[in-house]
A and B are shown apart, each in its own frame.
Chain A
Amino acid sequence: MKAGYASRTPASLLGGGNMTQMPMGAVPKKKDEKLKVIGKAKGNPRKLFYEMKRNYSAYLFLLPKLILFTLFVAIPVVWAFVLSFQKYKIFGSEFVGFENYIKVFESDAFRIALKNTLLFTVVTVPFGVISALVLSTLIFELGKLSQSLFRSAFYLPTVTSMVIIAMVWRWMYNYDFGLFNYVLGWFGVGPVNWLGQSNTALWALIIMQCLIPFGVGIIMYLASMGSISQSLYEAARMDGASRFKQWIHITIPLLKPTTLYLVLLSTIGSFQVFTQIIMMTGGGPGSATETLVHLIYKTGFRDFEFGLAGAQSVVLFVIILIFSVIQFRVLRHDE
């Protein structure tokens, strides 16, 4: 997966694609029937009660999830918004209107974190998606066995905790005995204090992110390529189109839904970049590598400014939402 903590949750791994590609409501063919039942039930309280009673077992099946969901998802989500308008106190928080939001937008820390996060996203997301596309195109040319071999090789780093990857990369960037400075030494350059100076630290993290393969992307591109009908390529060959032209005019357009999904997915993940930051730089030096989620973490759980952290998270949510909508619009445009 690309960056961050939440990006590794299956929800964001898989969910987004369905958001964009699959109808999530009822199964279309059964729609009428169901509307009828519920329509009737709605009109008549007794009927509704009867329907509920008749289906009591369904509610029992749902009960465990509903209780957990209410306690640990629904209430916290609503609470997050309420909290962002409050000054939190253990007994009797008071409403302070938009004060927290004003603080968020007036603070340099937030602006820097936003700028860093944006830069990180703008570089790593296109790089990750494009490299996944190129790699999977190459892999797809090979036989079955080598395909699964390379697929595993590129996916393996994705199943390893980012905590571990960050620990190794900290060594790779080590000033005295790191691999990077050693390799630079061959060319007579350096040594560079990669993580220790503010003009290289963020770029060091960006380079690292770019060199971690986007395993999910590769697997999904390969799956999508496998479902493209070969007759399209045959027709193109008849017309004398080169392989490259086939790639540009057939493969890439047909992979567009996958690309859209992967861009959304890795953007969301990238906005949540956190683990590398806390493991490798702690947001420093200064605030050179401060990111939004790390800032939220610091505000909430080091300074215990719950209201402010709440406002920061709501702003993060809105930013992600805006980005998702824009990307959705742009990439969907000419279909």
Chain B
Amino acid sequence: MKKKPLDRLNKLIIFGLLTVFAVVSLLPLYWVFSTSLQLSSYQSQDMERPVSYVDSNPPKMYPMGIPLYFKHWGEAREAAKAGDTEEEAYHRDMMDHIVSNSFGSFKNLFKKHDVGKWFFNSIYIAVVVTIGILLIDSMAGYVLAKKKFPGRNLIFWIIISTMMIPGQVTLVPLFIMVGNLGLMDTHWALILPDLSMVFGVFLMRQFMYSIPDELLEAARMDGASEWRTFWTVVLPLARPGLAALGIFTFMNVWNSFLWPIIVLNTAELYTLPVGLKTLQDANLASFKLLMSGAAVAAIPMIIVFILFQRYFVKGLTLGGVKE
């Protein structure tokens, strides 16, 4: 069906308006990257002392290294033309300085702080939890959707009813529990509770319903075991659901914050968000360094989002909107 076409002007106005809003909404994220690359120390010949563009007022809206690099580049070329080698060498040095200063905080971050370790921890935990959740929840969702056995509905309702309880309610008991199990200040303290999230069971169960019984029946006729049926028939058919669940699990674990700051005490074990908080708290880090850390934490999620965008949309609408 066709919509009544809006005239071009209206469309243009809407486009312009939305662009403004989009810019406002993306500004903070832009700022992370801009500041992480901002020139923090610069002194040209006519300056008395070096300036930092990181916390200058008025704020610099883009990395100052870019225009200054080209300025020196141009001047170096002119000096070369005029045959002034000393002047040329000076400008070449300035160019090197600008590059190393602009990217310097990333190097610092990995050399002087534990960011490399935090990054690895975050990836490791997110990957382990995502794979675990996909396997465990699709197994549970499959039998809850496709098998009839005593207690099925009871189990399902008990699991689902806890979905409405906000996570904070169990913080304290979970803390005591993790302590009793001797897992405090370990990555297991993050992984095990994350693997227990119930949302995936619900999502996978909804998804498994759409798998035709005939296919399962056919597999059984061929003499496939339960596990084989699940592995070779059910899982491939559930792929879109798995993709959506996997992405949300990854995002959720990658960004998780409250629970990690409670159970982790050792700097080496921190995940990125926890590490960033301690960097900010320590007040040792410059704003440029902080923003570089934030950029390191943001980039993986942005890549995941760009690559799997359609699954994000699918995952959100799958759960929420009645088709």
Contact = CB atoms under 8 A, between A and B. Distances in A.
Interface string A142-160: 1000101011111111011
A65 B136 contact: yes
Interface residues of B, number: 118
A292 B305 CA distance: 31
Interface string B184-222: 000000001101111111110010010000000000000
Interface string B298-323: 10011011100100110111111111
B245 interface: yes
Interface stretch (A74-82, A101-109, A197-205): A74-82
A113 to B, nearest CB: 13
Interface in A294-335: 296-297, 300-301, 306, 309-310, 313-314, 316-317, 320-321, 324
Best-buried of A8, A83, A171, A309 by chain B (most CB within 10 Å):
A171
Interface in B259-296: 261-262, 272-273, 276-277, 280, 287, 290-291, 294
A152 to B, nearest CB: 6
Contacts, number: 353
Nearest to B135: A64
Interface stretch (B39-47, B92-100, B146-154): B146-154
Interface in A138-189: 138-139, 141-142, 146, 148, 150-157, 159-165, 167-172, 174, 176-179, 182
Best-buried of B137, B170, B280 by chain A (most CB within 10 Å):
B170
Nearest to A280: B280
A15 B257 contact: no
Contacts of A168: 28-29, 31-32, 291, 294
A6 B276 CA distance: 19
B256 interface: yes
B1 A230 contact: yes
Contacts of A216: 316
Contacts of A271: 166
Contact of A309 (B171, B251, B258, B323): B171
B14 to A, nearest CB: 5
Contacts of A9: 167, 197, 199, 252
A62 B139 contact: yes
Best-buried of B148, B169, B172, B291 by chain A (most CB within 10 Å):
B172
B255 A58 contact: no
Given A10-B252, A164-B276, A300-B171, A138 B257 contact: no
B9 interface: no
B251 A159 contact: yes
Contacts of A71: 177, 192, 196
Contacts of B168: 6, 272, 293, 296, 313, 316
B172 A80 contact: yes
A181 to B, nearest CB: 8
Interface of B: 1-4, 6, 10-11, 14-15, 17-18, 21-22, 24-26, 28-29, 31-32, 35, 55-59, 136-137, 139-140, 142-144, 147-153, 155-160, 162-177, 192-193, 195-203, 206, 209, 226-227, 230, 245, 248-249, 251-252, 254-258, 261-262, 272-273, 276-277, 280, 287, 290-291, 294, 297-298, 301-302, 304-306, 309, 312-313, 315-323
Given A55-B150, A161-B255, A300-B171, 15 more contacts: A13-B319, A14-B320, A15-B163, A22-B322, A58-B147, A64-B140, A76-B174, A77-B165, A141-B14, A159-B302, A161-B257, A161-B272, A213-B21, A219-B316, A306-B172
